[in-house]
Amino acid sequence: MAKTRKQAKYKELGEQIIEAILQQQYLVGDLLPTEKELCQTHSISRYTAREALRYVQIAGLVDRKQGSGSRVLRNSIPNKINQFIHSVQDLLNFGEQTRFEIESCELKNISAEQAETYAIAAETPFIKLAGIRLESHDKKPICYSVINQFKFEQSILSDISNKKKVLYGFVDSMKKVPIGRVEQSFSATIIPNELCDKLGVPMHSAAMLIVRRYIGKDNTLLLIAESLYPASRYSYSNVLEHS
């Protein structure tokens, strides 16, 4: 019998808070319980409380400000996705707090052209995953992603057609490999017609293409992720501090 993964505690609590907001137990302008209060009420760690509130923030229901708490913005799920990325850990958390449905996975080798672009040896094997990333709460499409993974467990190759096994292997490998940095590039583009239905947008819709290169602490390329976000439903924010 296949093993099922238990939902993380922060997701369980995050879903409870989202449901409470949707049921108007918290109204617009209300403050949610603080991290400390959640820890005391639910007997959880500060990390779990913080990630639960971040989970609700990603759903677009609250505004979080240090020193001011988490204030309810609306009592319904918005159409626009807000991505708050201030660190590599935030990026990994966003991946965990959403759902990735694989449409295809295959083992490929780096072509000569890719070798020059990626600065990696030709014929290097990699696993190519393609699919839709969805909101965890209401399963709305967030983006279409193509992930080229260069570091992976060899055991995955024995059953490359098993999408669930490949996905779990991908998630596990990301937890094991120390990431040194993530290089990002942003560009405006048009969503290809064949992806419009999958993303639930009209043809010729504008999009933001984000390419992220994950580099290990030993300076090796771990993976490259190319994600296409519909412009009408996506915003990205981070904080730049003076050094």
DSSP string, 85-123: -SSHHHHHHHHHTEEEEEEEEEEEE--HHHHHHHTS-TT
Average pLDDT of the segment spanning 11-19: 91
Whether residues 91 and 50 share a domain: the answer is: no
Containing domain of residue 230, as a range? 81-237
Instruction: Compute the mean pLDDT over every residue in the chain, rounded to the nearest whole number.
Output: 84
Last residue in a domain, options 55, 72, 89: 72
Q: Decide if 45 is inside a domain.
A: yes
Whether residues 221 and 159 share a domain: the answer is: yes
Q: Is the dihedral of CA 89, 92, 93, 94 positive or negative?
A: positive
Q: Decide if 1 is inside a domain.
A: no
Q: Decide if 3 is inside a domain.
A: no
Q: Which residue has the higher pLDDT, 167 or 4?
A: 167
pLDDT class for 135, splitting at 50, 70, 90?
A: confident
What's the N-to-C CA distance of the chain in angstroms? 53
Q: Decide if 101 is inside a domain.
A: yes
pLDDT, tens only, 25-68: 999 999 999 999 999 999 999 999 998 998 888 777 888 887 88
Q: Decide if 242 is inside a domain.
A: no
Dihedral (C-alpha) 148, 82, 175, 42: value to the nearest 10 degrees?
Answer: -160
For residues 85 and 62, give the distance between their C-alpha atoms in angstroms, rounded to a whole number: 16
134 contacts: CB under 8 Å, gap ≥ 6 = 98, 99, 100, 101, 140, 141, 142
* 83-97, 104-118, 137-151, 156-170: segment of lowest average pLDDT: 156-170
Q: Decide if 152 is inside a domain.
A: yes
Q: Decide if 136 is inside a domain.
A: yes
The number of folded domains in the chain is 2
pLDDT, tens only, 154-200: 777 666 667 766 676 676 677 777 888 999 999 999 999 999 999 98
Whether residues 85 and 179 share a domain: the answer is: yes
Whether residues 98 and 119 share a domain: the answer is: yes
Model confidence at 83: pLDDT above 70: no
Whether residues 232 and 188 share a domain: the answer is: yes
Model confidence at 121: pLDDT above 90: no
User: Residue 109 in contact with residue 124, Cβ under 8 Å?
Assistant: yes
Burial of residue 188 (CB within 10 Å: 0-12, 13-18, 19+) is exposed
What's the confidence (pLDDT) of residue 3?
46
